[in-house]
Structure 1
Amino acid sequence: MSKIRAVTVDPTVTGRLVLREFDAPNPAPHEALVRVAAISLNRGEVRRSTTAEAGWRPGWDLAGVVETAAADGSGPSQGARVVGLLRFGAWGELVAVPTETLAELPDSVSFAQAATLPVAGLTAYHALLQGGSLLEQPVLITAATGGVGNFAIQLAKLSGARVVAHIRKPEDEAIVKAAGATAVVLGEDLSNDKFGPYHLIAESVGGKVLGDALGLIAPDGVLVSFGTSGGGEVTFNASRFYSLGGAKLYGLILFRELKAVESAAIGLKRLANLVATGQIRTPISIEASWTKVAEVAQQLLDRQYSGKAVLHIAD
């Protein structure tokens, strides 16, 4: 059997992430074989790699070319340029991808741009779906300088919302304003926010930020929680929350949304078309070779950059 290279966990080396040889994948009938050109990093898979067992293969986001179309006739044809998503193992030269998580790319969308879309773009997209129509509605995006936050600002602005961005550092204001935010809230304390209440809050910090944000929802509004980078323990004013009437706290796990709401193929096609037409931009902060995966992953954990890191896979 032929061999491919892929990123895997090796606890004995610095950074824990290395390239190793594996057997080439044997796809199921509903899977296409994709020759990967670019990948992007997300905090969730990188965090998992810090404690995962030896041999575990991380990776959610990928973009490349279909080398062998799915045997059942579904999905893109051989030679198609695609963007896709896996639960793990996407960071390899050749991967088997279910066709329900693959979308063809417009010619004008690069592999680097496309690789940022699956987890960050789809998470933002599904979080905003919970708000229904956002036209002229106030929307708060926490952790707004990250990949999800940046996409959420752009998509909310495109939907006609009045977007407020929560940021940690004053120097980040230019980033979120460029993405489309009309105002910013600075620091960890949201209790003195002057822009709420909000029809929709997209929240991924947790801890005190989530507790404060629950007090900023408008009646019949919704707070979508999809991360806890600031801590999992939350204290909030329950009487203030329930007395609003109709306010909701919604927990979002992307892979559940892709089964229950809409397939990744549909959402990725929409996002790629928005990139192609210039309606949204991909917030790429770093581009490097995938041989630098351990270094770039550590930079992500250390918050040394905002936006997305894209790694290119060389032949």
Structure 2
Amino acid sequence: MRALVVDHGEAGPIRFADVDEPVPSTGEALVEIRHIGLNFGELRYVRQWPAGAVHGHDAAGVVVRAASDGSGPPEGARVALGLAPYAWAERVAVGPAWLGAVPEGVDLADAAALGIAGVTALRVLRKRSLLARDVLVTGASGGVGHFAVQLASLAGARVTALVGSPDRAAGLRELGADEVLTDLAETEDRFDLVLDTVGGPLPARAWSSLAEGGSIHLVGFSSGQDTTFPSGTLFGFGEPRTIATYGDMTPPSEELTDLLGLVAAGRLVAPVGLRGDWKDVDDAVQALFARKVHGKIVLDVA
């Protein structure tokens, strides 16, 4: 079968290859993949995975063989894969902990967009009550950012979305942002929670805008730059402020189910900024790296 595998060469980060058919264990279903969802991190930092391995974590498809031990979804079920290993292939053997059942009325392509981005946003925003809190989402035009803006707004927060340029602000107010900025200097607000996807100098700037008792959650470093805090910046009186890292790759079945339920209810929109065929994956990767896509990239598996 065909799959997208890790390529450490100059032509990378991924390439098509013929690979062996997956052999499910007793607790795994065999899923025919219909759509895959691309993520910045797994493509930009591809050398963290072995060359030649089937790549990708997010996808959606249909169960063609249920797990032999009776666990998980039945044959014919539509499912979303999130944070799952080896997801970018025509068929995948996967355990139920990495699956979410896709409700009627939810497009499988939208379900493929949830995965890492949606689960990351949901897990971070569940760390504290957000009702009537001030939340800052940096890199808000990306996949995690689009979900975070919506979910924070649903939780009752006052949401500020920070983007890199005015042209990346489109649609964020409609998703729930109360304010959209291109520079933190444009506001004097103090934030109870900052969800940062950018890294580099931005977390240090956001620290100075953090309210007493507030927290910055670092969920990405798309800038590729170092973060430096000026001397004395991290000292202060009052209720402690915190910085939290994020790298939770535990199975997301519960969160996928919650997210899919919100999509089915019309309360959450899957931010698909580019839809195409997986044969054009090289063009899609270049568009992702060039910041030409607002939201997620979803590719159809022929």
The alignment's TM-score, normalised by the length of structure 2, stands at 0.93
Higher helix proportion, which one?
1
Report what 1:95 is aligned to. Answer: 92
1:19 positional shift: 2.1
SS where residue 124 of structure 1 aligns? helix
**Selected match of 2:240 from 243, 246, 252:** 246
Tell me if structure 2 keeps the 8 A contact 1:215–1:241.
Answer: no
Report what 1:202 is aligned to. Answer: 195
Report what 2:294 is aligned to. Answer: 306
Distance 1:10 1:194, change over 3 A: closer
Report what 1:136 is aligned to. Answer: 132
Tell me if structure 1 keeps the 8 A contact 2:33–2:91.
Answer: yes
State yes or no: 1:268 paired with 2:256. yes
Tell me if structure 2 keeps the 8 A contact 1:145–1:167.
Answer: yes
CA distance in 1: counterparts of 2:253 and 2:157, whole angstroms: 25
SS where residue 250 of structure 1 aligns? strand
CA distance in 2: counterparts of 1:59 and 1:141, whole angstroms: 25
**Selected match of 1:224 from 217, 224, 228:** 217
CA distance in 1: counterparts of 2:276 and 2:105, whole angstroms: 21
Report what 2:164 is aligned to. Answer: 168
State yes or no: 1:76 paired with 2:48. no
Q: Mind listing any 5+ residue stretches in structure 2 that lack a counterpart?
A: none
Tell me if structure 2 keeps the 8 A contact 1:215–1:236.
Answer: no
Q: Mind listing any 5+ residue stretches in structure 1 that lack a counterpart?
A: none
CA distance in 1: counterparts of 2:209 and 2:230, whole angstroms: 11
Deviates more, 1:27-36 or 1:150-159: 27-36
CA RMSD of aligned residues (A): 1.9
Code of the residue aligned with 1:233 in structure 2: it is: D
SS where residue 174 of structure 1 aligns? coil
Deviates more, 1:136-145 or 1:49-58: 49-58
CA distance in 1: counterparts of 2:103 and 2:255, whole angstroms: 14
1:171 positional shift: 2.1
CA distance in 2: counterparts of 1:62 and 1:309, whole angstroms: 11
1:158 positional shift: 0.5
Distance 1:185 1:56, change over 3 A: same
Identical aligned residues as a percent: 38
SS where residue 70 of structure 2 aligns? coil
State yes or no: 1:214 paired with 2:216. no
1:193 positional shift: 4.9
Tell me if structure 1 keeps the 8 A contact 2:60–2:111.
Answer: yes
CA distance in 1: counterparts of 2:41 and 2:125, whole angstroms: 20
Report what 1:296 is aligned to. Answer: 284
Code of the residue aligned with 2:281 in structure 1: it is: V
CA distance in 1: counterparts of 2:217 and 2:208, whole angstroms: 13
Code of the residue aligned with 1:157 in structure 2: it is: S
Deviates more, 1:26-35 or 1:95-104: 26-35
1:86 positional shift: 4.1
Report what 2:142 is aligned to. Answer: 146
Deviates more, 1:46-55 or 1:112-121: 46-55
1:194 positional shift: 2.2
Distance 1:265 1:47, change over 3 A: same
Tell me if structure 2 keeps the 8 A contact 1:163–1:183.
Answer: yes
CA distance in 2: counterparts of 1:86 and 1:206, whole angstroms: 22
Code of the residue aligned with 2:268 in structure 1: it is: I
1:39 positional shift: 0.6
State yes or no: 1:106 paired with 2:100. no
State yes or no: 1:156 paired with 2:152. yes
Code of the residue aligned with 1:177 in structure 2: it is: R
CA distance in 1: counterparts of 2:9 and 2:217, whole angstroms: 39
1:240 positional shift: 4.6
1:85 positional shift: 2.4
Deviates more, 1:21-30 or 1:155-164: 21-30
Can you list the C-alpha shifts for 1:158-209, whole angstroms capped at 9, x where unaligned? 111000011111122232212211112214xx3x352421111000111110
Distance 1:237 1:216, change over 3 A: farther
Deviates more, 1:212-221 or 1:106-115: 212-221
Distance 1:107 1:87, change over 3 A: closer
Matches within 5 A, 1:11-30: 14-30=11-27
